[in-house]
């Protein structure tokens, strides 16, 4: 059985990398505006955001979708790097 996931653009990318890249790209204030969750609005940090997102699937889905829509277009092969 293969562990390849060719249809999953986030395969091999950790949640920590997703949150870190989004924060570097947008900043906490813009992230909170785009995704209205308290971990981005109230005393935000990577650690607190990861803790919340690992427990809250709907919020994690929104963060991952923002990551895909933000960075997938920047990859010359259509895959996030």
| Tens digit of each residue's pLDDT (9 = 90 or more) over 13-48 | 999 999 999 999 999 999 999 999 999 999 999 999
Domain borders along the chain are 15-73
Residue of 59, 56, 11 lying closest to 34 (CA atoms) = 59
- pLDDT, mean of residues 42-60: 96
Q: Is 17 helix (H, G, I), strand (E, B) or coil?
A: helix
- Are the beta carbons of 20 and 46 closer than 8 angstroms? yes
Which CATH number does 15-73 carry?
1.10.720.30
């Amino acid at each position: 059985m293969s562990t390849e996931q060719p249809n999953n653009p986030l395969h091999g990318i950790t949640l920590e990398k997703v949150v870190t890249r989004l924060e570097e790209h947008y900043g906490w204030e813009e992230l909170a505006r785009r995704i209205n969750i308290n971990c981005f609005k109230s005393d935000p940090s990577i650690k607190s955001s990861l803790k919340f997102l690992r427990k809250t699937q709907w919020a994690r889905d929104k963060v991952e979708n923002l990551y895909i829509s933000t960075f997938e277009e920047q990859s010359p092969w259509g895959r996030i790097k």
